[in-house]
Every structure is written in C-alpha cells, then in structure tokens.
Structure 1
Amino acid sequence: MSDISASEYINQQNALEDEARGLMPWSPSHCTYADGSLRQPVFACLDCGEIGVCYSCSIQCHADCRLEELFTKRGFTCDCGTERQESKKGDFWCHLRQNQERDVPSLSNRYNQNFKGLFCDCQNKYKAEHDSTMIQCVLGLECNEEWYHCCCILRRHDHATDCLQNSSQDNQVPSGFPAIDSFEGFICWKCVNRYFTIFQALLSHRRSDDVIAHTVAHYSTLVQPKSESGVSELPSKRRRNSETDQPFSIMLKSGYDNALLEIKEGLEESDKLFIFLQDIAPFLISDEPVYEFSEDSDNDTSTFELGTKALNTSIDRDTAVAGIQAMDNIKKKLSDFLRPFAESGEVVKEEDIRNFFELQKGKSKDK
C-alpha cells in the first residue's frame, strides 16, 4: 500500500460506510416480540427448538446458530426469548430484550416443515446452488405460505427428483411451466383444494380473466398434456377436469388485488366469495405491509451491523457472520491504532500498518 494519512484513511472508511448505509438503512437493534403478530421476515433457528425469530434476533441473538431464512410470514410473533426457545445463550434469553426469564410465546404462530429447514412438497432442504426456482403460495391458509419448486408444482413429490432435468437455462423452470414474468401471485393446489368451492366460484365469475393468468395441473406422472402455449393447464380453465379430478394450482395476474376488490364490491354480502375475501383472506385484496425496522441514523454503526444486513441465502451464514465479526473487531483495533496519527497529522507508512497486523497475528497465536 502507498503512504496515506490517517485522516484520509478514516475519511475513505466513512465514505464506504455511508454508501453501505444508503443501501442497507435498517438497524438490527429491535426485537419485534413486544409488537405482537406482524407480517415480517422470519428466520427458523434449528438449534433452539425450531423456533422462528425476527430479523434483529437472527443477528444479535442467534448468529452462531443454524438458521434458515423463511422470508416473510403473516401474523408471526418473534419466538426469541420465549418458552419455545430451548437453549439460553449468555446471560439473557433474548439479548435485545435482556429478559432473564423466558416470556410467554404467542399462541397464534403457525409452524410447518419450514421451521425444520425443509421446503416444498418434496420435503427437501433448499440448496441455492442447484435447486430450481421456488415460489411462495400467497394464500398459505392450508400450506402456511410454503415455498415450492416449480417442478414440484407440476407433479407429486415422488416424481420430483432432479428438478432441473427439464428446466430452461434462462429461468430454471421446467418445461410446461408458465413463464415467471407472466404472473404475479401463486396459490398452491393444497390451498385451492381446501377452498375448492370458492375458487370454483371465482373461475366461473365473468371477470375471472382479470384475476387468473393460469390454472396449472398438479400431475401425478412426469407426462403432462400441454396447451398450445406450452403451459400445462387444465382442459378447461373454468372447472376441474371431472374425469381425472386432477388437483391444480392457480397463477394470479398482475394487479389481481384490485380486480378482486372490484369483484367483491359487486357481490352480495351473503355470497361465499364475498365472505372469503372479506373475512378469510382479506390480504388477497389489501395485504399487510411487511414490518420495517427503524432506519439507522447512527453514524457510528459498526461494520458488523452493516455487513449482517447484506447476508443472503447464497452465502454460508455461519462463515459470513464469523467473518463480519472478525472484520468489525480488527476495524476497531485499527481505528484505535490510527487515532494518534490522525491527531498529530502524521503520515501512516506501509511499515506501520505491517507492524500492526504482525502484532495482531502474534496475539492470535498466543490465544
């Protein structure tokens, strides 16, 4: 490295952190337990009793646990530091709430195989490096907002090995599956089956074409009949195939929420479709916004806090967190080392930095 003044070095670091803060403005400093039931990002902790924890607790309380990112869940209360949590880490059950006794867990939380790190009808762990595209059921009343491989949507799990075998290289969806950009929402065949008479009424409504992009059969074999467009659809979009009684999923068009609202407003209050949209699944018309953590306005936010916000499923979380913690620790030590140079206006030489890191290396060996 070339010689650089300590003040220039610090200014460079501050500029980088300002840029990072602009991209990642949320601070992981608040546990959402006290906020109650929310639509929020949820992480499954596989080491503390297969619980679901909020974004902040995944970083501040469970960074050294095996975590599975579940993305958003509706109506979920953070389990961190409650009686559902089996393992205590340090002095507190939740480091953010700093409770020494476990709190009462929410009775409204719904759990499924996702909290064991398993997904889809094939009940497998998600492997980002070779899994096909997965999409989440927007209804989720039967499947609990499950994530599905596109290939498993077309066929039963006992035929769902090697999802990528018939997938296109462009978007990793199997042949016969609708293009991802051709629909906005997906309702799985399990949720459709549970409310079949409701969806039968919707499919028969004169404005169904404003809501439904595709009806995709969930075939029990690898061979699917295809429409002229190449999409595996039911023989009739208006009804289930009475001869095969094949389960099916529904793909919703962009703007389906507005169309459903207009359909609902034209129905009698006693109509079963009206009741469904009014009381059972009102989120199909106006979904609760995803909870957002407070904006980080602290200019002294650590590299660890900034870095953890960049974690995603394509990175091994344990390795990333350990690296970020180490980076934050060394940054603090380096800042302390450079402070006298900055205060005196001295130039930091390459030899000074080399000696600093040699000293840190020596301390590491002594531990």
Structure 2
Amino acid sequence: MSDISASEYISQQNALEDEARGLMPWNPSHCTYADGSLRQPIFACLDCGEIGVCYSCSIQCHADCHLEELFTKRGFTCDCGTERQESKKGEFWCHLRQNLDRDVPSLSNRYSQNFKGLFCDCHNKYKADIDSTMIQCVLGLECNEEWYHCCCILKKHDHARHCLQSAIQNNQVPSEFPAIDYFEGFICWKCVSRYFTVFQALMSHHRSSDVIAHKVAHLTTFEPLGSEDEAPSLSKKRKRDSNTEQLFSIMLKSGYDKVLLEIKEDLEKTDKLYVFLQDIAPFLINDDPVYEFPEDSDNDISTYELGTKALNTSLDRDTAVAGIQAMDDIKKKLSDFLRPFAEAGEVVKEEDIRNFFELQKGKPKNK
C-alpha cells in the first residue's frame, strides 16, 4: 500500500460507492407482486422453474440463482413466492413478502424462450462479448418483446453459427442495417405479419413518412447442409428462391408516438388503424412508464441493514448478521479515524492504517 492522503482515500471510496449505486440505484426492499401487472425490469430465474422476478426479488431472494436479465416487460407480475416457483430457500417463499405458503401466480403473464435464457430468432444464449448490439421489439404482441441481433433482423439462417459469424465480421451491426442512431423504435417482422393489414394501412397513410424511418426486408432462406464454401446446385438455388417469403420489419422515427396519436385522432373510430392504436397497442401512443422503485440512499439504509436484507439462507443467520454488523462498525470507525487526517490535509501512511487495524484487534467485540 502506497502513502495516500485521507481526502484522496475518501474520494476513492466515494467514487466506488457511486459506481455501485449507478449499477444498482434502487433500494431492493419491495416485491412488486402485490402491485399487480406492471411494466417493470424482469429477471428470469432459471433455477426456480423459469420464472420472472422483479428487481428487488432478484437481489433479496434469488441472488445465488442463475438469473438472466430481460430488461423491461409490459404487464408482468412478479413470480417470486408464487406457485410457479419450484424451489424454496429458507423459511419463506419470498423473503420480502415473508409468505410461508406460495401465492397465486398471475394468469396475465406471458412467457417466451427468454425465460429459458434464449434470445432472438436464432434461439441463442446472450453472449456479452459478441452480442453488444441487440434490439427489442417495441410492439411485442406476437414476439413477446423479443430481443434480436441486427443480422437476424435482416435474414434468418437455418444455422445459428451464420448469425454469430456475421455479427463478428460486421462489428455487431451489418453494413446494410439502418444506423442505430437514426430510429427510435423497432417492430419485428413477426409482429408486422400478425397485424399486416394494420401496417398496410399505416404505410399507405399520407403521414407514414413522418412515422416510418425504414422498412427492412427479412428473408427466410433454406441453407444447404454442406460446406459453407460449397457452391449450391441449381436445384437448391431454385428451392431457395421458391421458399423466400416477403417479410419485413419497420423502424420508427423519433417522436413516432406523437405522430401516431395525431393520425389516430383524424381517423374514424371504426377504422382498423384507429382500433389498433386505441385498444390493441395503446402503449404506442400513450406514455407507458416503467415502474420506479424507491431510490437507494445512504441516509435510508446502512451497510448492516442492507446486508441483513440481502442475506442468503445458505449461511447461518447469526454468523452472517454478526459479520455484516462488524463490517458496518469498522467502516464507521475507519471514517472517524481518517477525519483528522483529511481535515489537516495530512498523508495517511501504511503504518497508520496498520496501527488502526491492530488497535481494533485488541479491543473487545460489541455484543
């Protein structure tokens, strides 16, 4: 340990705490189950029955589980502590609600391959070193708000390796893909196909150019099973051409919600586009806020209190509580010890820190 001034040491510790709170800004003290169906961040727990749990439960109840971050899902109710959850850890099914019996799960929740840890039309697991660019469908009524690789949006291959290789070769975003910064929303070809007549009506509207930034073709091809370098035969080429479907996705311009609202207000109430925007996908024109958890604050919760709430039942509770309490106590004492150095602008030497900890060892423990 090199010599460092107390003020520099404190600044470093504050920076680390700020970084941690940037990654975990909310106070994980409230399970959203009782709040019902919400648009909220969801984490898939692959160890407890492929359930979806809220932000707080992902930390307090499933910290030692295999979790997959799904980001936001609309109309989702937390599954933690419900009959969908297969395994129980500790005394309670949900440690925040402290329910001894499992609660009734929501019937409105929708589940997809995401809850198995799979994404996109290539059905692959997310790989952070490769999949840095994935786009979520803002409509999601057919795909359940799926996340897609840009290369898979353009073209579906029978073999997932093609998608991954294309992502690497094109630096995540294929050259023919629209620039990410030039559109605000994306609707996948699956959702467009389900409501094809609605999107036909939108594209034929005189204000369509104010809404749609790009129309991107999605070609479904049937690849030969031979070598990638092998030239396909004429018969295979004809088969591929005859099985090509005219599917497409659309990219929406910035502020598309306001324009869609204006379009809707000028339509007859019996118009299919009006019905779609009014009853089927009102979130495309109305504010659809994400549930806000209470923000964490140093004044609201101490290290001891937060640690106590985040305890896993794999540890003996008394031992864990004692350890966390000791950690909080030593943090306060170290701050008090460093304060005179900081006020005087003096350098804290290695021997000063060592003497501090030696002094703590010689003191009797608080009960």
TM-score of the superposition, structure 1-length normalised? 0.76
- Alignment-derived partner of residue 288 in structure 1: 288
Q: How does 1:166-205 map to 2 (within 5 A)?
A: 166-167=166-167, 172-205=172-205
Cα displacement (A) at 1:44:
0.2
Residue range with higher mean Cα deviation, 38-47 or 206-215: 206-215
Count the aligned residue pairs: 322
Deviation at 1:217, TM superposition (A): 1.0
1:332 to 328, 333, 356: 328
Equivalent position of 1:123 in the other structure? 123
Q: Distance in 2 between matches of 1:265 and 1:302?
A: 52
For 2:219 and 2:73, how far apart are their aligned partners in 1? 28
Is the alpha carbon distance of 1:193 and 1:297 closer, same or farther for their aligned partners in structure 2, counting shifts above 3 Å? same
Deviation (angstroms), 1:12: 5.2
Distance 1:117 1:167 in 2: 19
**SS of 1:158 mapped into structure 2:** coil
Unmatched 5+ stretches in structure 1: 224-242, 308-324, 361-367
Deviation for aligned residue 1:337: 6.1
Task: Find the aligned partners of 1:116 and 1:163 in 2 and give their Cα distance.
Answer: 20
Residue number in structure 2 paired with 1:255: 255
1:330–1:354 Cα change, 3 Å: farther
- Which amino acid counterpart does residue 188 of structure 1 have in structure 2? C
Question: Is contact 1:302-1:328 (8 Å) kept?
Answer: no
One-letter amino acid of the counterpart of residue 61, structure 2? C
1:278 aligns with: 278
Q: Which shifted more, 71-80 or 335-344?
A: 335-344
Distance 1:340 1:202 in 2: 66
Instruction: Report the equivalent of 1:90.
Output: 90
CA-based RMSD of the aligned residues comes to 3.8
User: SS of the counterpart of 1:219?
Assistant: strand
Alignment partner, residue 108 of structure 1 = 108
Give runs of aligned pairs for residues 26-41 of structure 1, distance below 5 A: 26-41=26-41
Counterpart for residue 299 of structure 1: 299
Shift of 1:60: 0.8
CA–CA distance in structure 2, aligned partners of residues 83 and 14 of structure 1: 43
The answer on 1:54 being equivalent to 2:54 is: yes
* Counterparts of 1:291 and 1:273, CA distance in 2: 28
Write the mapping of 1:39-78 to structure 2, written as runs, cut at 5 A. 39-78=39-78
> Is the 8 Å Cα contact of residues 39 and 72 (structure 1) preserved in structure 2?
yes
* Contact 1:42–1:54 under 8 Å retained in 2: yes
Classify the secondary structure of the residue corresponding to 1:135.
Answer: strand
Unaligned runs of 5+ in 2: 224-242, 308-320, 361-367
Partner of 2:143, secondary structure, is coil
The 8 Å contact of residues 131 and 163 in structure 1, kept in 2 or not, is answered as: no
Amino acid at match of 2:155: R
Q: Measured at CA, do residues 197 and 358 of structure 1 come closer, stay the same or move farther in structure 2, by a change above 3 Å?
A: farther
Of stretches 21-30 and 143-152 in structure 1, the one that deviates more from structure 2 is 21-30
TM-score (norm 2): 0.76
Tell which structure's C-alpha radius of gyration is larger.
Answer: 2
| Change over 3 Å in CA distance of 1:329–1:67 after alignment to 2 | farther
Secondary structure in 1 matching 2:158: helix
- Which position in structure 2 is the counterpart of 1:350? 350
For the residue of structure 1 that corresponds to 2:161, the secondary structure is coil
What's 2:229 paired with?
none
AA paired with 1:212? Answer: I
Residue 26 of structure 1 deviates from its aligned partner by 1.9
- Take 1:304 and 1:150, find their aligned partners in 2: how far apart are those partners? 45
* More displaced stretch, 350-359 vs 250-259: 350-359
Q: Tell me the CA shift for residue 183 of structure 1.
A: 1.0
Q: Offset at 1:92?
A: 1.0
Counterpart residue type for residue 328 of structure 2: K
Amino acid aligned to 1:251: M
